[in-house]
Structure formats: structure tokens, C-alpha cells
Amino acid sequence: MKNFNCPTRFLALVAFVIAVPLISGPVIAQDDGARTYWKGRAGTNVMSVQYLNMNLQASDTLQFDPSHYIYPSADAEADIFILSWARHMTLFDRPSILSANLMGGSVDVKFDTTITPPEFLPPGVVPGTSFSQSASGYADPSVQLDINLFGTPPINAIFDYLNYEPTWTLDAAFMLGVPLGQYDNDKVVNLGLNRFYGRIAFPFKYHFRVFTPGYMSSIELVPSVWLFAENDDFLGQKLQNDPMWQI
Amino acid sequence: MQRHKMHSCSVVTRHTFANKAGNVVMSLCLLIISGALLLSTNISNAQQRERPNFLVIVADDMGYSDLGSYGGEIKTPVLDDLAQQGMRFTDFYVSPTCSVTRSMLLSGTDNHVAGLGNMGELLAPNQVGQPGYEGVLNKRVATVASLLRDSGYHTYMTGKWHLGLQPDQIPHARGFERDFSLLVGGGDHFDDGWNVEWQIPKGPYTEDGRPVEKLPKDFYSTKNYTDKTIQFIEEGRGDGKPFFAYMAFTAPHGPLQVPDDWLRRYKNQYDEGWDVIRTRRLSRMQELGILEEGVSTAERVFFLPRASMLAPGARIALGRKMEIYASMVEYMDDQIGRVFDYLKEIGEYDNTVVIFFSDNGAEGNDLVGMIAGQAGSMGYLHAAANFAESGHNYIGRKGSFAEYGPAWAQVSMAPFRLWKGFVTEGGTRSPLIVSGPGVQGAGGINTNDFLHVMDITPTLLDLAGVEHPATFQGRDILPMQGKSWSPVLSGEVQSTRGPDDWLGFELFGNRAIRQGDWKISWHFQPFGTWDWQLFNLDADPGEQYDLSEKFPEKRTELIALWDEYVEMNGVILGNRSPYEGAQKALPAAVKEDDSYPPVRGLEQVPHKKLIELLSQ
């Protein structure tokens, strides 16, 4: 058995500490929305403008989930802006947040249908032809109302905020998407959905460590259900979705 | 006991050489002698038991009016009960800072002869190397622990020492059989153990004279000092000797820190600000009889704003510091209760004289600023690195360094002026509770006497029946200057000191003499006038009215006593002082403006009236 002396252990520790950030990337929470259940002082308005440029290219069909198909040589490019506004307020003496999102931009999608198995082609796409579609304009705007159920006192003034040290909080959030965005009924690629959709969520946060910058840590769970109305004009057909459960 | 063993040994030796015929006689003699020795031992043990135990408890930087029994709103039920069982004193004096007070507590004499003419950390150039200015408790004095130990007491110490770091200066070398001590003046209360001074970055602890390598992970100063005190008493009580236990808590000295589950016990209770809280305290002090009605009380110091002028958020942020301070005091009270419970459990509480006081006025200075220095210095970098956390929700925890500042210190020291470091009443007056066997007048408040911390050694020696010797361990030692409180505690007299007795004070160049109700004091500007001021403490405990012009003879008389004090104790006024630049360093006076903050559509209430209304 090999014995490691103290300097060796120390060097190994240093190497580990150096290696971890080099091989790690930032961890980004997936599909957690704008997390507009975090509390601020009532009356605070928050606006954000984001711009995203995405250029996605697929070179193979490998995927983690066999039920998904990746179109070989597919090329998707998108220029998207997201405009968000949130207002912190008190509703029924509970801290609440009303927020709205507006997205827009342009999307271009191209892929070669000659090497795509027919069963994976989108509706209306003829095998053996090249597929290229684009869309531009606004997506469907959405509004959300989040109201705290337990764990957070009303935060009406700066001294409420100074006294605020959360442990756990439970909210209810209701989101509604309105079909006002760009939609072309003979295209697969659209920015709007041509149907109402919404989400009912119960964001739960548990805070531990000290509620102060540099120390704040939280575990957050957002169990939710997405509900979709019917799109009665999807390439001449009706599109229906069952409620989608999500955590 | 040692003597008895030697006698037995000599008898056995003689027995060995006795002839057979003489054996019978010798056996009879042995029986008689053994019986006599047994009787003598029993008498000796009985006498030992008659001697009381002593438990001296010292808080660190705690204010005069913090305890419930002195008018404070902080919950201190254990010490309040102690006050009901014993006596409270209103005019008890300590030194303006900690190590200086401790030198007088343990030696019974003035700090200028005991080695702490100035704090070791702040010696002026012309004081270095001078007798009485060693910066440690010198060998010209014998500690009360040494004298009690030699007379058959167990001697224990836990907590802050601050009287020397060298092997011959630490508690174990100065009379304490057992100790768990922080040798320096303060530091992190948790296991980090950071010290404010970068030269000694981690607070050195000793246990039974040996360095403590590592503090336990769950260390919190007040709790561990209590644990150790109980442990020492428990482990030593088998032989029936009385004990002298010195509990020198480091609470509520900065950094203000308390275990997490105690952090929010006073949440939002200080949001109203210092003026309202102080007014309430003064009112309760009058109700209790700690403070006479109609006397002057100190005004808010010129550079401190009215709390009502601050935004509510600012008041909450500043109030949180006082919340943590209050929690520290209550936690200490709770732990003292653990010691009392233990003493009751082993049947020693009723035979224990308990003395509780604080080592100096509440801390209103910027300790980190004073010790760590300016940005860019090593001290500053050390403090910034190890006490870096200062977030509103973080302060009070490990790694933070919060102090509550001068405005709250003035509340803690109500009704007096200024705080730690000054020879005003706010720097030198401490609550004092004495309880135990022979203490008469349970629940009473003595407002007649004026006492001093250097009286404690003579009092303990008196109660233990121990003479203060002229020599100790082959060297001459100085006589005590303090006076025993025994006659007051037994109810024979109302005052330890007569109208002609006086007390002297000097630290950092600030100086004072008190005789009867009269006091002269000299402070650096802007806290004083760079000249002697005369106050009558009976009517003016807040030291607001300089009577120098009205009573010039009295002033001259007291200045003569000051000269006598200097001569008697070899006082050397430092050629540098931490307060010499205060005039320039302090902020300008805050404008007192009754029209601020503005009140729209309502009648503006003058500030004093507003505070009266809010404090009801």
C-alpha cells in the first residue's frame, strides 16, 4: 500500500482545487423561468431586456433520449429578444409579483430531408426535398401572478426587507399565454402558438445559511402543470396537448 | 493537612526504635496522638467549611444600566434574583479599561503600582520601562488567588486574563491552581479565536498553565468558561476545601457574537432608537431607586444624532447591533444561572459569596479602528481578512466584527457621560451585586457608599481570615490600598469610605479624583477642556455642570489630592495618548433641529416631548 505524506496530500488537494473549476462549467437551472417568486419590496418595478443569438448545428443523430430525433446537418439560427417586467406588490396582505413577458425576433431552420427517415419528418414536409423555414415577429406575450402562501411577510418598506430572513416559502403562481404572436398556419416554424396556454405552479424555496450576499443558499422546487388550449389550425389540422406535469 | 502528615511520620519513626515493653505505652501514646490528630483534622475541616467560597464574576464592557436590576430592559433574571438575595451598590468604581481594572481586582492596590499604569498595548514612549508601567501584573504585588491558595483555598479561573503572556505571568503562575484562560484582551468568541491584534493573530488560551492547541469546534466563550468553572469545582470538591473561582467572561466585549439560536431574541426591540430606550431606562432606574429623581443626566454626545433623525431602515440596521449585545448579556446571565444551579445541587450555594460587576464602562470606541489601525496597515489587513463579514444578517456570527458604537454605549451607561476609556462616570461606574453568607439587607440598594474594584482583594482576604503579608515568596510586596467591605456587608456601617476618603483615576492622560460627592476630572478636548472641571455627583451624576468657578476652593483642594495621588502611586502622564487627536478626528456636531424630520400636515412635536411620548 502506498503511503502519501502530507506534502503529497497537499499537492493533490491543490491540484484538485485547480482542476475543479477548469473542468466545470456553470450550472444553469433548466426551465425555471424568470424565478419571479423571489421577493422584493412592494412597489419595486423590475425590467429586463435580454437578447439571445443562437446558432445551432447538428452533425449527428446521437441523442440521450431515443424518442427524440436530431436532424443531421440541421441548422437553426435565432435572434431573440425578451422583454420582462415585474412589479412587487402586496395582494390580500401577502407579498405578490405581477410579471409580463414579451418575446420576439426571428428564427431560421434548415435541414436535409433526404437523409431523414420519413417517420421523423414534420407534418407537410415532403421527403427528398430541402426544408427551410423562417419566422419573425413577436411571440405570444404572457402574464403571471405569483402570490405567497406561507413563509414570507409583506415587504412594504425597506425595514420589512431588513427584517426579512426567510427559511422556507411556498407560493402559488398562475401564468397565462395569449395567442397574439406571429403565426402562419402553413408553417411548422412559428413564434406564436395560436392557442392559449398557461401554467399553475407552486414555487417552494428553502433557504439555509445566512440570508446575506455571499452566503445565501436555497433549494428551489417548482412543481407545476402546463395547460394548453387547442390549436385549431396547425397545417390544417387540430393540435391538442394533454396537461404537462413538471418539476 | 501537610503539617499533620509530618507529625504522624515522626511518631512512627520513634515507634520503630521502642522496646517491647515500651510498645504498649507507645501504642497508647499513638492512640492518644492519633485521636488528637483526628480531632484536630476534624476541627480544621470544620474551620475550612466555615470559610465561604468566593465566586467573582466579571462581565467585559457591560454597561451600568443593562441589567434588569439596574433599570435595563435586557432579560437578566438570574442576576436580578442575585440582586434580590444580596445587595446592589450604585457607586462602585472600576478603571476605564479592562486590564487596568483586573490588575486592581487581583492585587488590591492601584494600577499604577501593580504594573498597569497604562494598558500594555498603549504604553506611551515615556512610560516604557518605568516601574508600574510593565504592561503586565508585576511582581511587586501578590494576587488574591496566591494568598487564598496558600491559605487552603482551591483557586480557579476561567475567561479573560489580559495581565501578561509570559510563563511567569499567566494565571497558573499567579496563583490559580486551575485555569482556562484567554491571555489577551479579546477576540472572536467562537472557535476561530481570531484576535484583533495582528501581532498575536489568534487569541492564546491556556488550560492549567499549558497552551491550548485548538479550541473545540462548538466553542463559544461564555458557555465554555461556564463549563470549565463547573468542571473545576466538581473535580476539586472532594477534599472539602473552599474555593475561589474567578469567572472573567469576555462577553459582551466586541466582536458582538452569540450562538445562532440566540441571535434574534431581541429582534426589532431596539428599532425605536437610542433616545427612547435610554429615556425608558432612566425612568426605570428612578422607580428602582438606582437613580434619584431630579438629578442631571448626561446629554447625548455632540457628534451623535437623534435617532429620530435617522431613516427607519438606518435605525433597524443600528438597532440590530444592540439586539446582539442584549442577547450576549442575556446569554451570560443564563450561563451564570447554570453555575448557581450547580452550586445549589452540591449544597455550596449558601456558603458562596458572589460578587458580580463589569470591568469598565460600555464600549463606545471603534475598537478595530483603535487597535487595527488605518487601511493599508498590517493590522487593518488582518482585521479585514478575518472579521470581514459585516452584512446586516451576518453580524453576530462567526467571522463578523460588530460593535454597537457610542450611541448605544451611552444607553448602556445611562445616566452617565461617555463610556469605556474615559474617567467620566460613564467610563468608570459599574453595577455591583454582592450576595452570600453574611451579606445583610437582602434586595437592598446601597447609595451611600462609594467603593472601588481594588477593595475586592481586601474584602475576600478579610472574609477568609487571611492577613495580607508584607512579603510573598521571598520578595517584598506592596500593601493594599483597597478597603474591606465586610463592615458594610454585615450591616455594621453604611459606607466603606468616610467623607475625607478619596479615590484617584488616571488612564491615557485623562484623570480624576472623587472625594465624597465632589469630583474633578481632566479630559482631552473635545470630551473635556484640557483643564480640570469640578462636578458635584450628588446632583449632577451626568457631569453636565462645571462648578469650577462657583467653588474654586474645592477645585484647588481636589487638585492637591491629585498631586498626592501622583506622588503616592508614581503616576507618569504619557507623552502620547489615544485621545490626543480626538478633537480633529471626530465628526462635527450634529445640528439639533426640531423641524426635522418634517411632518406634513401635523403639528411638529419638539424632540424632547416626542421622546417622552414614545418612551411611555
| Domain segments of chain B as ranges | 53-358+366-569
**Predicted pLDDT at A235:** 84
Kindly indicate the confidence band of residue A31, based on its pLDDT and cuts at 50, 70 and 90: very low
Identified catalytic residue from B15, B112, B154, B162: B162
Q: For residues A221 and B606, what is the distance between their CA atoms, to the nearest angstrom?
A: 53
Kindly indicate the confidence band of residue B16, based on its pLDDT and cuts at 50, 70 and 90: very low
B359, B369 contact by CB (below 8 A): no
CA distances (Å), origin B210, targets B190, B204, B230, B434: 20, 10, 19, 32
Q: For residues B277 and B445, what is the distance between their CA atoms, to the nearest angstrom?
A: 23
- Average pLDDT, integer, range B110-122: 97
- Of residues B38 and B201, the one with the higher pLDDT is B201
- Of residues B50 and A25, the one with the higher pLDDT is B50
**Predicted pLDDT at B33:** 46
| Closest partner CB to A213 (pick from B267, B313, B391) | B391
Residue contact A159–B397, C-beta within 8 A = no
CA distances (Å), origin B255, targets A226, B199, B396, B402: 52, 18, 8, 5
Q: In chain B, whose CA is at the least distance from the CA of A161?
A: B313
Nearest CA distance, A12 vs chain B (angstrom): 25
Q: In chain A, whose CA is at the least distance from the CA of B267?
A: A163
- Average pLDDT, integer, range A157-175: 91
In a domain, A2, yes or no: no
Q: In chain A, whose CA is at the least distance from the CA of B318?
A: A162
The predicted-structure confidence for B336-395, as pLDDT tens digits, reads as follows 999 999 999 999 999 999 999 999 999 999 888 888 877 888 888 888 888 878 889 999
**Predicted pLDDT at A75:** 87
CA distances (Å), origin B386, targets A156, B38, B365: 35, 60, 20
| Closest partner CB to B392 (pick from A157, A162, A214) | A162
**Predicted pLDDT at B48:** 52
**Predicted pLDDT at A231:** 93
**Predicted pLDDT at B47:** 52
**Predicted pLDDT at B49:** 52
In a domain, A12, yes or no: no
Residue contact A162–B317, C-beta within 8 A = yes
- Average pLDDT, integer, range B26-47: 44
In a domain, A3, yes or no: no
pLDDT above 70 for A59: no
- Of residues B391 and B538, the one with the higher pLDDT is B538
**Predicted pLDDT at A16:** 67
In a domain, A238, yes or no: yes
Cell of B530: 484640557
Pairing of strands B518-522, B510-515: antiparallel
Kindly indicate the confidence band of residue A61, based on its pLDDT and cuts at 50, 70 and 90: low
Reduced 3-state DSSP string for A190-245 = CCCCCCCEEEEECCEEEEECCCCCCCCEEEEECCEEEEECCEEEECCEEECCCCEE
Complex ipTM over 0.95 = no
B89, B451 contact by CB (below 8 A): yes
pLDDT above 90 for A20: no
Q: For residues B429 and B440, what is the distance between their CA atoms, to the nearest angstrom?
A: 23
The predicted-structure confidence for B468-503, as pLDDT tens digits, reads as follows 999 999 999 999 999 999 999 999 999 999 999 999
Cell of B123: 504604553
Q: For residues B516 and B245, what is the distance between their CA atoms, to the nearest angstrom?
A: 33
Nearest CA distance, B389 vs chain A (angstrom): 9
Residue contact B393–A211, C-beta within 8 A = yes
The pLDDT > 90 percentage for chain A reads 49
B443, B85 contact by CB (below 8 A): yes
- Chain A positions touching chain B (beta carbons under 8 Å): 157-159, 162-163, 165, 210-215
- Chain B positions touching chain A (beta carbons under 8 Å): 264, 267-268, 271, 311-313, 315-317, 389, 391-394, 397
Residue contact A215–B391, C-beta within 8 A = yes
Quick check: is B98 catalytic? yes
Nearest CA distance, B603 vs chain A (angstrom): 24
Q: Which residues contact B36 (CB under 8 A, 6 or more apart)?
A: none
- Average pLDDT, integer, range B14-41: 43
Residue contact B313–A212, C-beta within 8 A = no
Nearest CA distance, B311 vs chain A (angstrom): 9
pLDDT above 80 for B3: no
- Of residues B52 and A212, the one with the higher pLDDT is B52
Residue contact B268–A213, C-beta within 8 A = no
Number of domains within chain A:
1
Kindly indicate the confidence band of residue B50, based on its pLDDT and cuts at 50, 70 and 90: confident
**Predicted pLDDT at A21:** 54
Q: For residues B353 and B432, what is the distance between their CA atoms, to the nearest angstrom?
A: 13
| Of the options 3.20.20.60, 3.40.720.10, 3.60.15.10, 1.10.1660.10, the CATH number for the domain spanning B53-358+366-569 | 3.40.720.10
- Average pLDDT, integer, range A162-171: 92
CA distances (Å), origin B326, targets A58, A209, B407: 65, 23, 15
**Predicted pLDDT at A117:** 77
Q: What does the DSSP 8-state code read for residue B480?
A: P
- Average pLDDT, integer, range B195-224: 94
**Where in the sequence is the domain holding A187, given as residue range(s)?**
30-246
**Predicted pLDDT at B28:** 47
Q: For residues B54 and A42, what is the distance between their CA atoms, to the nearest angstrom?
A: 58
**Predicted pLDDT at A186:** 86
In a domain, A211, yes or no: yes
The predicted-structure confidence for A169-192, as pLDDT tens digits, reads as follows 999 999 999 999 999 988 889 999
Residue contact A162–B316, C-beta within 8 A = yes
A121, A113 contact by CB (below 8 A): yes
Q: In chain B, whose CA is at the least distance from the CA of A160?
A: B313
Q: For residues B261 and B387, what is the distance between their CA atoms, to the nearest angstrom?
A: 21
Place of cell 420589512: A160
